[in-house]
Structure 1
Amino acid sequence: MPRKLPSLPSNYTMNIYAMQGTTVVLPCRVFNLGSATLSWIRRPSLTVLSHGDILFSSSDRLKLLHSFGSPDWNLQITNLQLEDSGIYECQVNTEPKLSRSVNLDVRVADTGQTSQDVPALALQGGWQQNPRRQRTEILAPPEVRVLEGGNIALECVVTEHQAPPPGFTWFIGEVALDFHQHRGGVLLEEERRLRSSSSKLTITRLQLNESAVYTCSPQMADSASVRVTVFSESNKLRSCQEMLTSRFVTLFITLLSSLYFV
């Protein structure tokens, strides 16, 4: 089976504005990266800021936000300065090259501004007296066991965000959930609120080959994962037999021991 090629969800230029002194996260999501490498470049100077998971910038204001297995390679800039304004490009070294640009506009803070624009991707924690940390979690135990043919509902929640995630992507193992390719019986529900948003994945009639690590990867937020194990009736029966056998052996040994010491 041929391996899927790297792809970007979109290649349009994203315009982000943020206030001086705040923190901003520039998003870049790539699917099926494989052996290819992603880099962040600043234009027009063509300054290479990162290559893979290596950050080349000497500034401690820059940080690459990426966790193993996640499709997100976001660039975070703290304590924004006016000179940080410009075009930032994330690109994948494929042939032809894949790239996406983010146009960052840093503005002088004006507490009296009435603009209807919303700095959706700017984390304005510096304007709050007691900022709370954004958090992503799946409302389930770290490992979930489901009987073959049963159903499962996994709810992924992002709390304390400054703006709702633009989208959620679910991964089954290392493969992004694609409704055009996945079998039926899958339902995805999303809800966005002022301080928290959620994505609920429901899968019915689970099959044995759907045992995997399920990962919720919201844009502009950390990912969260749980392991789902689908087991058959035969495995369930075998486990019960092994448990009963173990208990019987323990009881038998206990009885022998009591007879021996009488």
Structure 2
Amino acid sequence: MGINGQQNNGMSDWPYFEPNVPRNVTTAIGQTAFLHCRVYQRSDKEVSWMRKRDMHILSAGISTYTSDLRFQVIHPDKSENWTLQIKSPQLRDSGIYECQVSTEPKMSLNYTLNVVESRARIQGPSDIYLKTGSLLVLTCVMSQGPHDLGTVAWYRDNQAVVTSPRNENDIDAEPRITVETEWSDALTSRLRITYAKTSDSGNYSCVPTVAQRSSVNVHIINGEHPAAMQHGNTAVGAPTPGAYLLLVLILGQFR
């Protein structure tokens, strides 16, 4: 067995790495990362982890040699697995980590950790103006980071959006408020509100489990004049000239 973990003839009892494990790992900020190192026929040899950018030994056996408590080695009893766990990883944790076995010469295997800042994005403008009775569709897309973004929640003014149950007396009727989440090239979540009411106005946020939230302001207008525009139960101030022009153009479509 050479130092890269490949088996040599005549040395069948020499330690060797399991090659079929992910060695290029991507995770989002705050999402626990795992680097899996599997060593067979280890005998009395010690497995350790090192961070390449500063040559810092993070662990030897199951003992950690860093004051950063986010780093921990997971090694079930009598297992070949020596997993480096990194809790709440940050961008600065990106880089190469090395799994080592204390043979002579030393064996090692490199792992690349990519920590990315995953963000949600609600498509469209940051301020949305609609007339009462309209259909409101908010589409939130998360395309950065790993494909393990957990779940997505929607909030209006920091209160969870409650979807409408189906009408048992009319099974063909669609619920007024629905949320649909699906995978394509990205994680997409759609909030649909039919027959929008002035009470639906507010600040809407798409909040993924492990990505930064995205927010938009929704204004449901009762009537055709800006003075009638409501924000929740509180009247908002007069719109800016640009917003006023946008409002006039939108309302003109309903005449």
Same fold, TM exceeding 0.5?
no
More helix by share: 1
In the superposition, the TM-score normalised over structure 2's length comes to 0.44
Q: Which has the larger radius of gyration?
A: 2
TM-score (norm 1): 0.43
